[in-house]
Structure 1
Amino acid sequence: MALQVDIHKDFGKFRLDVSFESENNQVTGLLGASGCGKSLTLKCVAGIEKPDRGRIVLDGRVLFDSQQHINLPPQKRRVGYLFQNYALFPNMTVAQNIAVGVRDKARRKETVARLISSLWLEGQEGKRPGQLSGGQQQRVALARILASQPEVLLLDEPFSALDSYLKWQVELELSDLLASFPGPVLFVTHNRDEVQRMCREVCVLDNGRSQPVLPVKELFEAPRTLSACLLSGCKNVSRARAAADGKVEALDWGVTLTPEGPVPEGLTHIGVRAHYIRPVEGPGPNRLPCQVERVVENVFSTVVMLSTPGGDQGFSRLRIELEKERWAPLAGKSPLWLELAPRDILLLTS
């Protein structure tokens, strides 16, 4: 494996306990809510923070090992770290900012010219960061990082400082750049859509603890934990417990359901995505009567909030999303029966 991380750091009320691996030429997403330890993990890999114990290895080269008392300084790790605010030198020009990262002084001018061309910065060489757009600043920061010939890239919320109208273009440009980077890339975000578009694999962090790395497709189609399910965008979850004959009891929805797969040991919750729930005519297996509480009209769809037999607060409510033409004939029905197909029920542990 190109990058191996297995580290632990105790902050008293917060404990970082992270273990994952990332391959060469692969973008691995670190996905989690604010304060879960994503940026702290990057700082440990970069050498800015020192773990209490553990090991970090990059292509067989040990960057940190608590038992062997190895802790390489940041400048010797060959790690490129893109900070959220890009950390450009405000009084330096674009060319000067990039030149700072060049290790080989004899090739400094040539390297700066090559990176300015490859990152579409021609004509900006003499400008200072304050004269650039957010997207241009990001490209300058990336050019400075690439000038140092890093073996791994660490991207900390790379689009958070951009206005929404810039994000799409900059994301496309960054995606093209990462496709040609030979080493591993760690991509920190709390945005599931960015993970889906930018990453091949994802590691979910929850309150400082990492979960097993899984393919991005699996995160959205079959998350295994409650935190992964919520981070993937699922809006409907219920506390649950195993029942007889392979069934599960949805405690918040007040219904017993039959899932498609085997019930995992340690089941705590179930989930179902809003666009998979199907309105039906009446009672039957995996069906429950609901009352419409609120209707929200989007541009191309209708979002409907419903109370269930379990109640009308918190997790007891269900959310469905339908095309406008599908909702129109259903408006006014009371109760509105919904069906949760066995294949669409997500079985989750804490």
Structure 2
Amino acid sequence: MSLSVKIVKKLKDITLDIEFETRGSGGITGILGSSGCGKSMTLKSIAGIVTPDEGRIVLNDRVLFDSEKGINVKIQDREIGYLFQNYALFPHMTVMENIKMAVKGTRAEKKELAEFYLHMFRIEELAGHYPGRLSGGQQQRAALARVMASKPSVLMLDEPFSALDYSLKEMLQLELLEELKTFEGDVLLVTHSRDEIYRFCESIHVINRGNITASGSVKGVFQNPGTVSAARLTGCKNIVPIKYIDSHRFFVPDWDAEIAVKNQEVPRDADHIGIRAHYLRKALEKDQENVVKCKLRRFLEDPFEVALVLENGIWWKIPNDIWASELKGQIPDRVVIPEEGIFFLKDL
């Protein structure tokens, strides 16, 4: 199964201009972006809730939308399963009635299939309950059971964990992974959480102000985001402008430091670099290249690591055991910017 999306939609603050395809081999595709970037609007366009100004949407060789040919298939005929951020259960219907609403067939067939999905998602005892009496996790399972009962070709999850507390969120993430094992179609997961993308997804599209700024495998994009916006959204703390010197050297004005790279070339069109906060290390006496002065601005302590925010803006995150054993709880005078941790970026 495959989904092809190429749409343009003018919104209040941005113009949504999106183009991507799923692999058609199942798996979860992540759509990562900050609030207001156009993530949810992309899903709504695919589902038919919103009509793009122009473009084309094709699911399994079936055209769902084509602005030039005047094709715009109705929502209920698109075979799209959409799990809304707030789950969108009908409050005046029981869980059983909510699931039946998604099933086509006779009354007996609806009941049989609804019971099947109640069992699949382990919520049989909630069949007669109304949504208002359910916990957040129960509502999510009920909503997912309703979506799956419609037998969609593509499943779209819009910020499915955003309304849950931390402990419940992690438990439901594991449950959802188990529940999706039986789904043979493609899944789109919209989120602003890099952790959810990394845990769940095989491929990723990063959206910034209505445009896709990076695409590829999740590990590939995290290792080399390509753009400043993608690097920020994947959690990179250290993103700074650079000045090109030659194919193996560049200058970082914010750090007042010249950095050399031996195993890669400096792209002429790169205007920034990124380096993740965990990649830095203490400079030893023998270290002379790629060394930056280390003067502390702020010390932040988390349960399992410390973060040093330096005067030059560098973030350095250090696991507690390294901080205690190797650094002895002392701020070093210098820090090394290791070449293997550097990726070059464009500010698009």
Q: TM-score range by the shorter chain?
A: over 0.9
TM-score under structure 2 length normalisation? 0.94
Distance 2:68 2:86 in 1: 35
Counterpart of 2:72?
A: 71
Cα contact 1:23–1:183 (8 A) shared by 2:
no
**1:300 deviation in Å?**
2.5
Cα contact 1:271–1:348 (8 A) shared by 2:
yes
Distance 1:165 1:128 in 2: 24
Distance 2:267 2:21 in 1: 25
Counterpart of 1:128?
A: 130
Counterpart of 1:312?
A: none
Root-mean-square deviation (CA, aligned residues, Å) is 1.6
Letter in 2 for 1:280: A
Distance 2:222 2:214 in 1: 15
Distance 1:277 1:301 in 2: 14
1:261-283 per-residue CA deviation (whole Å, 9 max, x = no partner) reads 22234212101111110111346
Cα contact 2:214–2:225 (8 A) shared by 1:
no
Change over 3 Å in CA distance of 1:151–1:326 after alignment to 2? closer
1:93-125 per-residue CA deviation (whole Å, 9 max, x = no partner) reads 111110000012241111011000000102111
TM-score under structure 1 length normalisation? 0.93
Structure 1 segment 289-304 matched on structure 2, within 5 A: 289-304=293-308
**1:325 deviation in Å?**
4.6
Find runs of 4+ consecutive structure 1 residues off by over 6 angstroms: none
Q: Which of 171, 175, 178 lines up with 2:177 in the alignment?
A: 175
Change over 3 Å in CA distance of 1:330–1:130 after alignment to 2? same
1:63-117 per-residue CA deviation (whole Å, 9 max, x = no partner) reads 0111111111111111111111111111111111100000122411110110000
Counterpart of 2:315?
A: 319
**1:15 deviation in Å?**
0.3
Change over 3 Å in CA distance of 1:109–1:326 after alignment to 2? closer
Counterpart of 1:153?
A: 155
Q: Secondary structure at the match of 2:44?
A: helix
Count of aligned pairs between the two proteins: 341
Letter in 2 for 1:305: V
**1:332 deviation in Å?**
5.2
Q: Secondary structure at the match of 2:242?
A: strand
Q: Secondary structure at the match of 1:213?
A: strand
Cα contact 2:247–2:265 (8 A) shared by 1:
no
1:278-313 per-residue CA deviation (whole Å, 9 max, x = no partner) reads 1113461111112112222222322111123xxxxx
Distance 2:215 2:186 in 1: 14
Counterpart of 1:57?
A: 58
Where structure 2 has 5 or more consecutive residues not aligned to the other structure, the ranges are none
Counterpart of 1:313?
A: none
Letter in 1 for 2:37: C
Once the two structures are overlaid, the 10-residue window that deviates more, 62-71 or 161-170, is 161-170
**1:9 deviation in Å?**
1.1
Q: Secondary structure at the match of 2:126?
A: coil
1:108-154 per-residue CA deviation (whole Å, 9 max, x = no partner) reads 11101100000010211111111111111011111111111111111
Change over 3 Å in CA distance of 1:38–1:327 after alignment to 2? same
**1:330 deviation in Å?**
5.7
Letter in 1 for 2:208: D
Q: Which of 177, 183, 187 lines up with 1:185 in the alignment?
A: 187
Letter in 2 for 1:87: A
